[in-house]
Amino acid sequence: MLPLGRPPLPWQAVGYLEACDIPAPGDDEETSFWREYLLFNTTQGFAFLVDTNDGWSWVKPLTGVPVVKGDKAIWQGRDYRKRWSYSAKVTWVQGEFYWRLQRDERALVIDYEGSGAHAQGRLSREQTGLEVTWSGGETLAAEVVAEAFGIAPAQRAALQRDAAPISSGAGVAKALVILAAVLILVLMLSRCGADGCDQVRDTFGAASNEFQQCQRSNSGSGVRTGGGSYGGWSSGGGGHK
């Protein structure tokens, strides 16, 4: 699967979040953190690019429900084994998401990984209250992310994580240099007053999707976040712990 499309599709970054797991009482494990970028394409819909300390992954919300049998989940004829089960919460949200949610929202998460020829596959089940959402996808090599976002070769070392790229990660490195331009855009959109939209127009042009989205956000359409108070909880990042 090539998540960026054949040929590569134009994806727009519309949201950004940070989240962490919540160690159980008496658990000596350190709190783990990860980042997720909400991307949108007019034909493919929404997807999440997930950055953890172990690597990168690409996931999308599932339209169906996997069959769970003990520690195994079955989806589209493939078996996935449970790897992590934990509580998690959102610590920061910026930009626009397709549902509104308060920061510090908590969820119960179960992450699954594929095996054999499908070892890069990932499933994630998240439950908030009575609502359950599933997402699925696969891991991405750092080079794929670098190529997709045009990261210069001299800067690509910053994308590498501590382990081979698997989406189930421990925490994320504090220094985030990848996708700096994308995050700046999200921040600009979240502050889309008149001056903010002028800045977006000057950067991307009056006919750009970025400028049009900023104007729509400024007029009050959609769900716009500011200061990380509200936003969307990713419907599974394909493994976070």
pLDDT score at 219: 52
Assess whether pLDDT exceeds 80 at residue 233: no
pLDDT, tens digit (0-9, with 9 covering 90-100), for 88-145: 999 998 888 777 667 888 999 999 999 999 999 999 999 988 999 999 999 988 888 8
Q: Where are the domains of the chain?
A: 12-180+226-231
Q: How confident is the model at residue 24 (pLDDT cuts 50, 70, 90)?
A: confident
Query: Of residues 16 and 212, which shows the higher confidence score?
Result: 16
Across 62-66, 211-215, 220-224, which has the greatest mean pLDDT?
62-66
Question: Looking at residue 229, what is its pLDDT?
Answer: 32
Share of the chain above pLDDT 70, in %: 63
Please tell me the predicted confidence (pLDDT) of residue 162.
46
Q: What is the mean pLDDT of residues 61-72?
A: 95
Rg (CA), the chain: 18
Q: What is the pTM of this model?
A: 0.66
For residues 52-57, give the mean pLDDT. 86
Q: What is the mean pLDDT of residues 55-78?
A: 94
Give mean pLDDT, residues 40-59.
89
Query: pLDDT by residue (tens digit) across 187-205?
Result: 444 444 444 566 556 555 6
